[in-house]
Structure 1
Amino acid sequence: MYLTYNLTYITYNNFMKKKHVNLFNLKLLNFIKNKFKCKCYSLNNINNNLDSDNINLTKTYNKYYNDIIFLIFLNIKIKAKENHRDFIDRCIYHYFYSKIYKYIIIWIGFFFFNTLFDIAFEDTDDEDDLYEDTDDEDDLYEDTDDEDDLYEDTDDLSSEKKNCTVIIKDLKKYRHLWVQCEHCYRSNLKKKFKSKMNICEHCGSHLKMNSLDRIELLLDTGTWHAMDENLNSLDPIEFHSEEDPYKDRLKEYQKITGFLEAIQTGTGLLHGLKVAIGFMDFQFMGGSMGSVVGEKITRLIEYAGKKELPLILVCASGGARMQEGSLSLMQMAKISSALYNYQLNKKLLYISILTSPTTGGVTASFGMLGDIIIAEPDAYIAFAGKRVIEQTLNIIVPDGVQTSEYLFTKGLFDLIVPRYFLKYTLTELLKFHI
């Protein structure tokens, strides 16, 4: 494990040139080093290699990126030029370098704003053990004519510690303003995140969307008409576990999402074309398929067949709901039977859209029965998870074999379509069918 730190003062015209370390910084770093018993890797060598005028800045950072657990910026003011924004985005959230100027402690990895820094700092007699790969301690310090630009008064160590603790608590308050990418672990401002269709602005990953956002994405404004909204799951097998009873969990998710079940079904217009459509919501018990989910999908299929409407199902599910036992498993056959009548007897179009994740019974039934099957980029699509396969068959499952791109090469899908083009792609397919 590496603790990587960078004590750098960034000016507007002189990027990554001046460095300053004070007693408080040393005590903090020493505490973290002892706490995690980890190697403190000095970024002096990295900084010496950085060239602010070219792309070596990003290349050099990428070289060390995978070793970073914490990236700590102390006593800095950041005024970033536009061409440096890409590098700074890796290190610090947009909001903080416009709002907080004193102590900024940034998380990279899996430790998100935890209580690590609510600590009592220990004295250290040996400051040299904080650094490696440096023979000259002058590399860490540079004189500056105006230290007031760097930080405020730092004479009182207890005051420093108090201010730092306050800032850390303030950071937690702003956590709700951000959405963390599951792939690159960088943060997206929530306000802009929705307008970008839940696509990470840093790595382009398609993150999960709830059913309301899906409706807004695919259907014309004001044309959505929901069906069977009042269907509610019971507890047919009186499922109880060491955790909350099934009924209590249902009520909890209903309160969180505002919906009674893990799917919304209804009709709407897609660029003026009327469709019967269903949206699964992974936020509701992992989009699991219980008796109500199966019933709503079956009713939607029967309605689409009766009205001769094209059918679209947006899948996002962890599979059959174990709390309902065999009743959840029978939904696979029930839906497949309804689709057989809809597709073969009625000769109507069914389009299946697989989003991340689509697994288990949904993949094994209606998810893969579409006349046209569309997947989102880098979607996780599988029947059984990687760990289950490895433990059951005692084999090693290579990385990436359960992604939409790999499965597309094996012929499982017809298209991989980014969200930006999904509505227009569906429109063209519907027009062709009509």
Structure 2
Amino acid sequence: MLKDFFGKKSKKRKYASIPSEHSKLDVPEGLMQKCTGCYKIYYRKEMQKNLNVCPNCGKHHQLKAWERIDSLFDENTFQEWDKQLISINPLGFPEYENKLEKDREKTGINEAVVTGKGLIEGNITAFAVMDASFRMGSMGSVVGEKIARAIERAKDESLPFIIFTASGGARMQEGVLSLMQMTKTSVAIERFSKAQGLMISVMTHPTTGGVSASFASLGDYNFAEPAALIGFAGRRIIEQTIREKLPEDFQTSEFLLKHGQLDKVVHRHEMKELLKTLIEMHQKGGRK
């Protein structure tokens, strides 16, 4: 018991003890994932089962290349093409090779795109999927080469071609060699189109820079996932150039659809069925 300023006895107050660092429960790293749309927290496995779409607000989080492939292709039917191709350092850019090696170790893939062919609900198709976790999906010489080769092979084998894009644009460490890939891939698509090949492009978040200005926008069908960032130059640069405030939804999938630059905004859960329908619809004589 203590005495206060008036001489009365008062009870000693009890304060809750602050837990020490050692008393806190350790949560294994990577177990939980926070949605950047509604900020709810989920078990990562729960999000993965839902194809990285938030169950609460529907925000589409990024998928890695093999996660997307597994979500679309029939089991054990995907055959990868040109896996052995890796980037070098043609301009002698400082630390570029080290960064590439770190990304290979982190992602388990050799470059920012995986190409190949496989079956979607029994329908064979050629395929390319970009992965933003490798150098932000930037397009260097190998990315452009792999995509161009996949398109040429799809033409030679009379296969439809589907590409999922996710990129920050041209890879600055490769300079003009990177920019040349815009022309190379576009020419390959032109040849593919003249051979009456079917190309479906699906733009995911983000699809920007030279990728958005070349092969990403050249499909017979151009789709996008909800709320994906799609555009060439950045919002701030455009506003400073035209000296106007742009709409809040500028450079989103929904904005592009509204202005006729997309055919459809497609929820990830509906993607496989849509691709299957389009492939079957374009097969000569239909599927028996």
- Output the TM-score relative to the length of structure 2: 0.90
Offset at residue 170 of structure 1 (A): 3.2
Partner SS for 2:256: helix
Give the alignment of 1:302-313 within 5 angstroms: 302-313=152-163
Q: Give the equivalent residue in structure 1 for 2:191.
A: 341
Q: Does 1:395 align with 2:244?
A: yes
1:51-90 equivalences under 5 Å are none
Paired residue secondary structure (2:261): coil
Moved more, 180-189 or 306-315: 180-189
Q: 1:404 aligns with which of 253, 258, 268?
A: 253
Shift in Å at residue 411 of structure 1?
0.6
Aligned-pair CA distance for 1:183: 1.9
Could you tell me which of 111, 133, 141 is aligned with 1:291? 141
Q: Which amino acid counterpart does residue 25 of structure 2 have in structure 1?
A: D
| The 10-residue stretch of structure 1 (422-431 or 385-394) with the greater mean CA deviation from structure 2 | 385-394
Matches within 5 A, 1:139-288: 155=14, 160-161=17-18, 163=19, 165-166=21-22, 169-170=24-25, 173-240=27-94, 245-288=95-138
* Structure 2 residue 212 is the aligned partner of structure 1 residue 360: no
Deviation track 1:113-146 (CA, whole Å, cap 9, x = no partner) reads xxxxxxxxxxxxxxxxxxxxxxxxxxxxxxxxxx
Secondary structure in 2 matching 1:408:
helix
CA distance in 2, matches of 1:294, 1:373: 19
1:4-29 Cα deviation digits (max 9, x unpaired): xxxxxxxxxxxxxxxxxxxxxxxxxx
User: Could you say which residue in structure 2 is the equivalent of 1:318?
Assistant: 168
Task: Report deviation, 1:176.
Answer: 1.9
Aligned partner (choices 386, 397, 406) of residue 235 of structure 2: 386
Answer yes or no: is the 8 Å Cα contact 1:188–1:201 preserved in 2.
Answer: no
Shift of 1:166: 4.2
Contact 1:354 1:374 in 2 (8 A): yes
RMSD: 1.5
Q: How does 1:17-56 map to 2 (within 5 A)?
A: none
Structure 2 SS opposite 1:332 = helix
* Structure 1 residue corresponding to 2:263, chosen from 414, 418, 428: 414
Change (3 A) 1:377 1:222: same
State whether structure 2 residue 272 is matched by structure 1 residue 423: yes
Tell me, in whole angstroms, the C-alpha distance in 2 between the residues paired with 1:391 and 1:255.
39
Offset at residue 182 of structure 1 (A): 2.1
Post-superposition shift, 1:192? 0.6
Matched, 1:351 2:200: yes
Residues 36-91 of structure 1: CA distance to partner in whole angstroms, max 9, x if unpaired? xxxxxxxxxxxxxxxxxxxxxxxxxxxxxxxxxxxxxxxxxxxxxxxxxxxxxxxx
One-letter amino acid matched to 2:98: D
TM-score scaled by length of structure 1: 0.60
- Cα displacement (A) at 1:187: 1.7
The higher relative CO (CA closer than 8 Å, separation ≥ 6) is in 2
Q: Could you say what secondary structure the match of 2:233 adopts?
A: coil
> Matches of 2:41 and 2:141 in 1, distance apart?
37
Matches within 5 A, 1:87-166: 155=14, 160-161=17-18, 163=19, 165-166=21-22
SS in 2 for 1:301: helix
Deviation at 1:155, TM superposition (A): 4.1
SS of aligned partner of 1:299 = helix
Q: C-alpha displacement at 1:393, in angstroms?
A: 3.9
Name the CA distance, whole Å, in 1 between partners of 2:118 and 2:265: 23
Take 1:418 and 1:266, find their aligned partners in 2: how far apart are those partners? 24
How far did 1:180 drift? 1.8
Gaps of 5+ in 1: 1-153
| Inter-partner Cα distance in structure 2 for 1:314 and 1:354 | 6
Higher helix share: 1
User: Quick one: distance in 1 between partners of 2:96 and 2:145?
Assistant: 19
Q: CA deviation at 1:388?
A: 2.6
SS in structure 1 of the partner of residue 230 of structure 2: coil
